[in-house]
Structure 1
């Protein structure tokens, strides 16, 4: 495409809902009905022979279930059709080896959600600088927090519109995620410099030009003390519960308070990631990251009975730290943000980037003296510097050497790119 070409962009926008107690009950009932409908559909799928597992037969079964079971009527018909489409898409993802097979959804484990497939049913209006109104089928007009300009009213047309929404509930309440389609000018090619990124636990993000992006604790001291107290109280109440006895309301309330504090920490972490990745995408034209297999990095070191693991508690703490930094989410955010600002993101092989000297290019044993300092033990080099910045420089150098990873048939292969810079430009 030439510069200045109009392209369609689809993105999501999540906003907080301000529901009354009655509206919360109605939305909860719809979410429970959607979960029940999923479970009924999964049971029907398991009972039917393969030749009868068609979309038409499943649609007929859903219509019959909504007629026979009264409480399923609280779910709008279009939302029920969305459950059917999502279920069949889950099986397609399983057959194409992109996800596991769908299963039953538990009452307390599954996410509570309701789909509004048609954007015209929402009838969005902006009533205040900070608040908007939306129509939720069988719930009514509800308020949501207005934090982004949306194509509503005269601004809405065939190219700029809201195509649907999804209601989700977490520990902090109900939220609505709009699906937005917009016609925008294709961004010009970003003329910013190239940069390599190294992610870690002590230093979350270190870049090859010497810059670091760090954060503090997600919870304050009072909030962490409160969380510890709630976890101890929950453990005590659970210990006094008899085998087979149902969880008390007090224990459920304690669990909800714990989930609320953890959700608050997760929201602050996500906000930091958004701000950091946006700053990186705006500053640099080419962003290079390591191709990490995070699932293998956070495997337990417990081992087996015959071959028990070593330093299990220490490895568990490291696994929690890695999971808390959410490296995969950082790469996901950078992927679409670099494209939005006209840049590109590339992945390079990860092995050896933290143990190789970025000055001489050799891997000498003992160079990584500590977590923070790298001192090359090569007699002809002797370069020293920050270990994270050294790894980030190695990441960028791999890209400039043409060793970029390209996904192919579900795996990553090395392909030499056309762009090669001299080694002196490191």
Structure 2
């Protein structure tokens, strides 16, 4: 615990409350998976003014997007590592200096004040001052792709995709992404593109660089669109159930793919084991005026014996492909996560196997860049499910970048495959034999 919480720090110095909140957010993001999301929902953050709350989040995200180069610069100036809380203060100070372009006297001064406000870090405030002032004389190269990702993940990407593609992936880490939107009715695309200052991407996604509260944008209250990365919109398009066909979304939250399937006219059942997350799916259905059966359950153990014309399994994964909006996933992930999540994916695929009607389709996807969660998983499934075969995806189908089509007829979408970036995804489409 610290002496200065976001609530009481605001009485000590202007701006200190926001920086104290950013320190807590950064610590949570680096300590565990989903830590940043949990911290952003913490009641203490709501005690800040909207301006300070927005600054705390922006500073945390700026730090996470440039953490690799910042850490390399800090390590060069530290003879031995100080306590982790002090390291995080230095990280935030460096991000203010070099990413947010805060004037040096303000960035250094407020970070020293932050250290002084906590009795556990107060003795090291002079160290904080000296290190940050040293950095102002030798700024880090924040754009070096070789420094942006964690070393172990970068090595994996180089092995899987080659050095040039790995650098292309890594270069996306530092950039704040635009916002992608899926439409309830594709015929509204032209009007919405004008209202939202957006461009229409292949497949029908709208991409906008608008900032601010999404709920205030034209069309949100009417439910005419929902936020969904361009890559995340591809799997439901590839599944493509016809109107009136039955479709199962096995891991549905937050609901973008469920909305897509419902908008296509399918009779949709959406599952998610988290009651809170499946509630959000229901809220999104209500806002858009779309309908689906919503069930809070573990899809691997769901006792319902129904079979469906179309099954979509967007499986839990390491989520390393989502770093553009969630840079914390890179730093909270561990090598052991990939093996443990692959076991979960295997169980879910076996459940999906039982739920596809003869002649029906199964689309498997993950927002991961790791081969063990993608093609390796599909190959293993096909070896134990001989009634299924790959239904090859065609070049450009579903709006996917042409470079993402693999020799196996699947998609390996990499974040640099489209200007402006997009989430990394693996997608495979399988067909069950008739009879």
What TM-score do you get using the length of structure 2 for normalisation?
A: 0.28
Richer in strand (by share): 1
What TM-score do you get using the length of structure 1 for normalisation?
A: 0.28
Return the index of the structure with the highest Cα Rg: 1
